[in-house]
Amino acid sequence: MSNQNITEALGYLMFQICRAHRNRAQELLSELGLYTGQEILLMHLWEKDGRSQSELADLMCVQPATLTKSIDRMSTAGLIERRPDPNDGRVSRVYLRQAGRDIQALVEGVWQQVEAESFAHLTVEERILLRRLLMQVKQNISPD
């Protein structure tokens, strides 16, 4: 690796791919009034509404302060709301509002479009192999 130009490294290529994916997703999500990352928060709530803020921060791999800003913005937009846990006042839980439920199909459509565009020229076998390889890379970086 020491003789390799950093822009030729696999990690740099992954960075470029992640950036391009994020930019394309942002382009489409902005039409829905969302910023990238906000759809991930919604996805976790669609899966299980009423998650705690700390659980969401862990699931999203973000700092609690970053999540708090996102929750504040999304609350103002009427997508979600924060409520105290009925059993533990120290815990805040996040719930979908109707507007947050109503955009689920649209957000999923954006992700399907970005997925289709990103992997358009790969065969099913290549997609399966790529998924397996990326899962191994993820495990190497974050073994938890």
The pLDDT assigned to 65 comes to: 92
The pair phi, psi for residue 92, each rounded to 5°, is -105, 135
The pLDDT assigned to 47 comes to: 97
Distance of CA 84 to the CA centre of its chain: 24
pTM of this structure: 0.86
The pLDDT assigned to 2 comes to: 60
Residue 4 has pLDDT above 90, yes or no: no
Can you read off the two tokens belonging to residue 60?
Answer: 């999203």
Which range is least confidently modeled, 45-49, 67-71, 84-88, 128-132?
A: 84-88
Can you read off the two tokens belonging to residue 37?
Answer: 């990352």
The pLDDT assigned to 114 comes to: 96
Residues in CB range of 62: below 8 A, 6 or more apart = 37
Fold (CATH) for 7-141: Arc Repressor Mutant, subunit A (1.10.10)
Pairing relation of β-strands 92-96 and 80-84? Answer: antiparallel
Please give the DSSP secondary-structure letter assigned to residue 30. G
Q: How far apart are CA 80 and CA 93, in angstroms?
A: 10
